[in-house]
Amino acid sequence: MYKIPALALLALVSGCVTTAPIDTLPANSVDDEINAVVNGLSTPYQFSNRPPSTHALADRMAFYQVPGVSISYFRDGEILWARGFGQIEIGTDIPVTPETVFQAASISKPVAAMTALSLVEEGVLALDEPIHQWHGDWQIPDNAFSDETTPTLRQLLSHSAGISQYTSAGYERGDDLPSVLQMLNGLPPSKTGAVNVDYEPGSKYVYSVGTYLILQHIIENVTGQPFAEIARERVFEPNNMTHSGFYVDGLPETIAEDAYARAHTGEGNIFEGGYKLYPELAAAGMWTTPTDLAKMAIDVQKSLKGTSNNILSTEMTQEMMTRHIGIWGLGWEFMTRDGTPPSFYHSGSNLGFKSVVYGRMDGSEGVAIMVNGESGGDIFFEILAGMSLIYDWEELKPEERAVYDLNAQEIAKFAGDYAFSQPIEGVVVVKALEETITLEIPGFFAPREFYPDSPTSFFDLGGNRLRFENDAAGTPVTLSFGDVVATRQ
């Protein structure tokens, strides 16, 4: 939900290990595979003049100050292994296990999409009819496109409904929480603006949390049930996802204190209260484990083949997993480098929690990863990059990047403080080195080194991009980094 990816450089300064393709590993046991994965992290970007380097998970967790990681790997319709690493909370000895629950953040969206598609199969909803008929006591405000076109459910699920971007930094435990209607209308105690249509529906895709807030309202309106309950009945229970749930007011007492991970900043400090609340349940409110996410991905793979249909029919699953616009299906995103999507995935980012689930379209394998630190995206991207070398996932293998030649004077002009107010308030501190810059967000991220690949853009080896906009005099005045747009002070 909230995303400021700030990945780091360590590929050239930490120790390296050599990792062979999985079919050449001695004995090829499960332990061999786990050892290869946890000692074979790489980075999404590598320098073009050096071979990919690999690193140990424990070293990267320490570097990024991430307390805990949980991984579940599946192959041929079965979970082959699941392991927890580290602790649920910094400074404790309570270990992360495969049963430890984490906030899944935006991986809530595929669950919401599958819930909605199950209602389509029953005739309660329809993919290509205007959504206003299911709004009940709320309607999309009049907008520039009201007379021409109305968003459809298909467009909601593929982020192409024209809905305005909507973000949330979450609510503190004990806060007065807004209702769905208050969030849709931007009324207190909601912390965000109203949801509206600001581009022509169907014309393009723009990732938007607001679309899934509308979806949550529609599902509750047509079923007469709370979203959490209908998702449990239609997705979690049929798929035996026994450690998954949507919780508006916080974790229930049935989940023990040692059974859930706490959220941590990028500097390794626990967030006050242990985690934040996200009443935008369909967009960001799920708690789960990597094993339960693996079960969901396996169900998609099996349903595509017609060998199992726990949630959706094969026909509806194929509809869900067809590319509808850009890189989006219905609730799922596709990875591709040659135009043919070989895999599907979704990532999640709430404050202090990062997660990803990835599956091969042919049903062969996949992985789910959950992390309880604000720099967790650094970790799961490095795990994926390393696994791509082990399991030969071509679309995830590290990409080569060449460094653009900027002199010290040109580098120096980017240095400064850049302030932002959305999704939270903060300052991006940019400092100039001789040939590179560092980026820091005090209170969240320690300095990270970025390399120029054009006169105004930079990259780090974790896959992040940093872009600057100059004024007429050629002075950088704004920067874009993930979801953050910051203005020079």
Give the tens place of pLDDT for each residue, 351-367.
999 999 999 999 999 99
Asked whether residue 60 is assigned to any structural domain, the reply reads: no
Do the beta carbons of residue 88 and residue 209 sit within 8 Å? no
Which of 357, 396, 290 is closest to 107 using CA atoms? 357
422, two tokens: 């959305």
CA dist., res. 412 & res. 403, Å (int) = 17
Which of 225, 287, 215, 213 is closest to 250 using CA atoms? 287
User: 1 falls in which pLDDT band (50, 70, 90)?
Assistant: very low
Q: What's the rounded mean pLDDT across residues 372-398?
A: 94
User: 387 falls in which pLDDT band (50, 70, 90)?
Assistant: very high
Which range (49-58, 256-265, 283-292) has the least confidence? Answer: 49-58
CA dist., res. 96 & res. 88, Å (int) = 5
Asked whether residue 382 is assigned to any structural domain, the reply reads: no
Element (H, E) at 111: helix 108-121
Q: What's the rounded mean pLDDT across residues 193-219?
A: 93
Which range (199-208, 218-227, 312-321, 412-421) has the least confidence? Answer: 199-208
List the end-to-end C-alpha distance of the chain, in Å, as a whole number: 27
275 pLDDT above the threshold of 70: yes
Asked whether residue 431 is assigned to any structural domain, the reply reads: yes
Name the amino acid, one letter, at 460.
Answer: D
CA dist., res. 136 & res. 180, Å (int) = 13
Same domain, 367 and 451: no
The CATH number covering residue 202 comes to 3.40.710.10
Please list, in sequence order, all residues whose beta carbon lies within 8 angstroms of the beta carbon of residue 309, skipping any fewer than 6 positions away. Answer: 302, 303, 317
Same domain, 177 and 228: yes
Which range (202-211, 239-248, 309-318) has the least confidence? Answer: 202-211
Output the CA angle 219-206-393, nearest 5 degrees: 95
Same domain, 301 and 446: no
In terms of residues, how long is the chain? 489
Mean pLDDT of the chain: 90
Which of 75, 116, 118 is closest to 310 using CA atoms? 118
316 pLDDT above the threshold of 80: yes
Same domain, 248 and 136: yes
416 pLDDT above the threshold of 90: yes
Residue where a domain stops, chosen among 350, 374, 398: 374
Residue where a domain stops, chosen among 374, 399, 421: 374
415 is in which domain, residue-wise?
A: 408-488
User: 422 falls in which pLDDT band (50, 70, 90)?
Assistant: confident
Which of 465, 369, 451, 350 is closest to 41 using CA atoms? 369
Instruction: Indicate the SS3 state at residue 210.
Output: helix
Q: In 3-state terms, the chain is what percent helix, strand and coil (to 5)?
A: 25, 25, 50
Same domain, 282 and 420: no
Do the beta carbons of residue 219 and residue 193 sit within 8 Å? no
Do the beta carbons of residue 243 and residue 99 sit within 8 Å? yes
Q: What percent of the chain has pLDDT over 70?
A: 93
Helix 57-64 × helix 376-391 angle, to 10°: 160
Number of Cβ atoms within 10 Å of the Cβ of 475:
12
126 pLDDT above the threshold of 70: yes
Instruction: Please state whether beta strands 484-488 and 457-459 pair in parallel, antiparallel, or not at all (unpaired).
Output: unpaired
254 pLDDT above the threshold of 50: yes
pLDDT of residue 190: 94
Same domain, 331 and 477: no
Alpha helix segments (H runs only) across 137-197: 153-157, 180-185
User: 340 falls in which pLDDT band (50, 70, 90)?
Assistant: confident
User: 148 falls in which pLDDT band (50, 70, 90)?
Assistant: low
pTM of the shown model: 0.87
pLDDT of residue 13: 25
Helices (H) and strands (E) in the chain, counts: 12, 19
pLDDT of residue 147: 66
What is the widest separation between alpha-carbon atoms in the chain? 65
CA dist., res. 116 & res. 234, Å (int) = 9
Q: Go through 177-199 and write b for each residue having 16 or more CB atoms within 10 A of its CB, e for each that does not.
A: bbebebbbeeeeebbbebbbbeb
The count of domains in the chain is 2
Asked whether residue 119 is assigned to any structural domain, the reply reads: yes
Instruction: Please state whether beta strands 45-47 and 399-401 pair in parallel, antiparallel, or not at all (unpaired).
Output: parallel
163 pLDDT above the threshold of 80: yes
pLDDT of residue 169: 80
The CATH number covering residue 451 comes to 2.40.128
pLDDT of residue 472: 95
14 pLDDT above the threshold of 60: no
CA-based R_g, the chain, Å: 22
Number of Cβ atoms within 10 Å of the Cβ of 342:
17
Asked whether residue 300 is assigned to any structural domain, the reply reads: yes
Which backbone phi and psi does 157 adopt, to 5 degrees? -70, -20
334 pLDDT above the threshold of 70: yes
Q: What percent of the chain has pLDDT over 90?
A: 79
Residue where a domain stops, chosen among 316, 350, 374: 374
260, two tokens: 């859930």
Which range (1-15, 221-235, 282-296) has the least confidence? Answer: 1-15
User: 443 falls in which pLDDT band (50, 70, 90)?
Assistant: confident
7 pLDDT above the threshold of 60: no
